[in-house]
Structure 1
Amino acid sequence: MHLAWSPVRHGTALLRAGLRGAIGIVYPPSCIACQAATGEAQALCPTCWGDIGFIERPYCERLGTPFAVDLGEGLVSPAAIADPPVFARARAVCRFDGTARELVHRLKYGDRTDLALTLGRMMTQSGRELLPDADLVVPVPLHRTRLWTRRFNQAAALAQTVSRQSGLPYAPLALTRVKRTRQQVGLTRTQRAENLQGAFKVAPSARPQIEGRRILLVDDVLTTGSTANAAARALLRAGASAVDILTFARVVTDGA
């Protein structure tokens, strides 16, 4: 059914367009990374875009780590075979270096919550093979003391954008962090796993949201997978059918 033309609605649209144009003149759009001029807001300039190491096929079907040579679809890396992850699949937009690292740090520590919109949109595109299978979007939570210090959870901001872009339900409180862990930076893979043991929990009241559903777990960066494994384990214990991981960036080593 076509809506009748309305002078009020038409005038409102023109007013909004005019305001956007005026704002664009006073505050011209700039690159979210280097502040160079761009054609639209919340975008990257060509130089910064070219500096991002996008992860595309071929990659490991489980870990999402890129292969140097394309040997066909459906391959699993030696790392995934030797130490299978708790989660089913992991996907990331890009490598955690250069411009990508700077963007994550600005989002995480620089109060640049506006970056979650652009990064989340990129994540939605990179997670396009995970989204049709997912039933619920859940962010990796922060412990309440760290949330108080940082003032917001960057994973939650990204997850909210992915939820809006994909149309999937968003459950920000389904998973909680009940153990205050020490910083993971500088820890070995074994130390990271020990540090995160028992760190996550699904509250009894949240179990109906989780049981029988495939969860898309969202975070900003995937490093060794210790955090993703610990969070996925808690969700599976609460009855999730499977857990996939979607992040903006991931650490890629030569042996990955």
Structure 2
Amino acid sequence: MLRSASLAAMTAPVIDLVFPPRCPLCGDPLARQGGLCVACWGKLAIPGEPACTLCQRPLGEDHGDEEHLVCAPCLASPPKHAGITAATLYNDAARDLVLAFKHGRRVGLAGLLAQLIVPRLPDLEGPWLVVPVPLHRWRLWRRGFNQSALLAARIARARGQALAVDALVRVRQTPSLGGLNRRARAMALSGAIVASPRWASRLKGANVLLVDDVMTSGATTDACLRALRKAGVGQVRIACFARVLDEALDAAGRSGPVPDGTAAGA
């Protein structure tokens, strides 16, 4: 790790000379690679507190500083996961970063997006498996990479946890989920994601951090959760870069478009 850091420090001036650091959103010059300019940092909407510890839905200030806050919807219908961590709320700036990363093939943005996720994650006690939301093999072949897997690899390295890049497999190609309602998304994903037999022994009883780039309706993560539960895992937490949560975005005073084709698997 130290050797890698030293090599990066030595090569940084050369990289900056050949590829001058610029903000990936607006193109303004930066002091160093891997960040945003001050103005674009301000365009990101960060989930606020207090919020539900399970779904990240914002709660009123009257909840005070209590721990383990749970909103009414989660109390009425408890989710099958142990909590969601999103680095940002899905707005224009988050959308532009995701589009540049996924469809613009700017894979170097994986480091920036993962760096925004990691500090917001709770302590992961004991060993965990970091599992990305899978892409179907044909979509992976066309795109050349799985954006969720790139994020998962960075998160696993930062947290010192094991990466299980192919623990979940998308066995059936699904249509783009953009524009579909929650029910249609769930139907499109039914039976499409399964646990890999190669990971059967490792998954049984394991704690899993499921990583996605954008969490929209939750249909994709629900399909992953079903496959993981069938494999006998312990608890599952979900981590993503951007989360579509209208009430939280309204609370932050920022507007943003509903994703169309930017959700995982799209």
Same fold (TM over 0.5): yes
Q: Which residue of 1 aligns with 2:239?
A: 246
8 Å CA contact 1:61, 1:75 repeated in 2: yes
8 Å CA contact 1:87, 1:245 repeated in 2: yes
Q: Which residue of 1 aligns with 2:131?
A: 138
Q: Which runs of 5+ in 2 are unaligned?
A: 250-266
Q: Which residue of 1 aligns with 2:38?
A: 46
Distance in 1 (CA, whole Å) between partners of 2:8 and 2:155 is 26
Confirm whether residue 98 of structure 1 aligns to residue 92 of structure 2. yes
Distance in 2 (CA, whole Å) between partners of 1:240 and 1:190 is 26
8 Å CA contact 1:138, 1:217 repeated in 2: yes
**Displacement of 1:80:** 2.4
Among candidates 115, 121, 126, match of residue 121 of structure 1: 115
**Displacement of 1:55:** 1.1
Q: Which residue of 1 aligns with 2:263?
A: none
Q: Which residue of 1 aligns with 2:202?
A: 209
Of 59-68 and 237-246, more deviation after overlay is shown by 59-68
Distance in 2 (CA, whole Å) between partners of 1:161 and 1:122 is 11
Identity %: 40
Relative contact order (alpha carbons < 8 A, sep ≥ 6): 1 or 2 greater?
Answer: 2
Distance in 2 (CA, whole Å) between partners of 1:251 and 1:142 is 20
**TM-score normalised by length of structure 1:** 0.87
Higher-Rg member (1/2): 1
8 Å CA contact 1:138, 1:170 repeated in 2: yes
What amino acid sits opposite 1:160 in the alignment?
A
8 Å CA contact 1:33, 1:48 repeated in 2: yes
What amino acid sits opposite 1:94 in the alignment?
T
Q: Deviations over 1:46-87 (max 9, x none)?
A: 000000001132111111233353513322223323443322
Change over 3 Å in CA distance of 1:159–1:19 after alignment to 2: closer
8 Å CA contact 2:131, 2:210 repeated in 1: yes
Q: Which residue of 1 aligns with 2:82?
A: 88
Q: Which residue of 2 aligns with 1:183?
A: 176
What amino acid sits opposite 1:98 in the alignment?
D
What amino acid sits opposite 1:142 in the alignment?
L
**Displacement of 1:19:** 4.6
Distance in 2 (CA, whole Å) between partners of 1:18 and 1:176 is 39
Q: Which runs of 5+ in 1 are unaligned?
A: 1-8
8 Å CA contact 1:86, 1:232 repeated in 2: yes
8 Å CA contact 1:174, 1:209 repeated in 2: no
Give the secondary-structure state (helix, strand or coil) at the position aligned to 1:231: helix
8 Å CA contact 2:46, 2:89 repeated in 1: yes
Distance in 2 (CA, whole Å) between partners of 1:48 and 1:82 is 38
What amino acid sits opposite 1:125 in the alignment?
P
Q: Which residue of 2 aligns with 1:151?
A: 144
Give the alignment's Cα RMSD to 1 decimal: 2.2
> How many equivalent pairs are there?
243
